[in-house]
Amino acid sequence: MIGAGEPLVLVHGTPFSSQVWRRIAPWLARRRAVYFFDLLGYGESEKRAGQDVSLGVQNLVLAEMLRHWSLARPEIVAHDFGGATVLRGHYLQGLRYKRLTLIDPVSLSPWGSPFVQHVRRHEAAFSGLPDYAHEALLTAYLQGASHRGLSGEAIDIYARPWRGAEGQAAFYRQIAQMDRKYTDEIEPLYGAPAFPAQLLWGEEDRWIPIATGERLAALLTGGRLVRVPGAGHLVQDDAPEAIIAAVLQGE
């Protein structure tokens, strides 16, 4: 936790970690007490063979983290799988938030690229790739999240947890466990929540097109959608100022 003020929890997505907030958290901490953590199986969290790191468990981890921090109704900012996690936490577990900001969330079918579907069928083969082949795939995958292109420093930060024998296996494990059933389960429950909610979407998102954002906005925010020009799926790197402005303007 950094900063002081009303609590705000940042929830990252795949294949990233809490490092995705490194350019955003310090600014939000000027007005908020900012909490962040690595989803189970991501970043610096535990990684082991046979581990369940699916969306089916991440909302349970979120609920435990909020209890651990004694946060009854924090403000939430969530991206990608983090969006699915907080939505599952609300609609399935009754978690309540003071305010919710979603950024290109995984939320509506279909989602999951052809690469994801291929890894799901052949996880073991990918886990056993030579280091150089894994590094090339990982770098290309990460670059696909950004419209403006990730720097070498950013690639190193995001790739580091997925390197080495343990990290490589964990990278393909989390992809293999990507299953649309976890969003299909909550899609019929979608509706305007009893707390303020806003939705941001990178106009150049190649992972989840903005048309999906428009569909989700119709269900959650009365059609209100903040379009972020020049940004891909990873708005945190392409346009971090858009996230900071969206969160702080609601004060």
Residue 63 lies in a domain: yes
Work out the pLDDT band at 87, boundaries 50, 70, 90.
very high
Q: What's the pLDDT at 34?
A: 98
Residue 243 lies in a domain: yes
Q: What's the pLDDT at 194?
A: 94
Work out the pLDDT band at 229, boundaries 50, 70, 90.
very high
Residue 162 lies in a domain: no
Which residues, in sequence order, are bridge partners of residue 7? Answer: 33
| Per-residue pLDDT reduced to its tens digit, 6-32 | 999 999 999 999 999 999 999 999 999
Q: Which tokens is 86 given?
A: 């907080």
For tokens 């950094």, the residue is: 2
How many Å apart are CA 232 and CA 238, to the nearest integer? 7
Q: Which tokens is 61 given?
A: 């981890």
Tell me the percentage of the chain whose pLDDT exceeds 90: 97
pTM of the model: 0.96
Work out the pLDDT band at 251, boundaries 50, 70, 90.
low
Residue 119 lies in a domain: no
| Per-residue pLDDT reduced to its tens digit, 140-172 | 999 999 999 999 999 999 999 999 999 999 999
Residue 50 lies in a domain: yes
Q: In terms of residue numbers, what domain contains 86? A: 2-111+181-248
| Per-residue pLDDT reduced to its tens digit, 125-139 | 999 999 999 999 999
HSE, side-chain direction, 13 A CA sphere, residue 126: 24
Each residue of 123-136: b (16+ CB within 10 Å) or e?
A: beebbeeeeeebbe
HSE, side-chain direction, 13 A CA sphere, residue 200: 28
Residue 102 lies in a domain: yes
Alpha-carbon separation of residue 54 from 19, 47, 70, 190 (angstroms): 20, 13, 25, 21
Residue 193 lies in a domain: yes
The CATH number of the domain where 104 resides is what?
A: 3.40.50.1820
Give yes or no for a contact between 92 and 183, defined as CB atoms under 8 angstroms apart: no
| Per-residue pLDDT reduced to its tens digit, 56-81 | 999 999 999 999 999 999 999 999 99
- Measured distance between the N- and C-terminal CA atoms of the chain, rounded to whole angstroms: 20
Average pLDDT, rounded, for the chain: 97
Name the domain count of the chain: 1
Residue 172 lies in a domain: no
For tokens 């509506």, the residue is: 108
Work out the pLDDT band at 249, boundaries 50, 70, 90.
confident
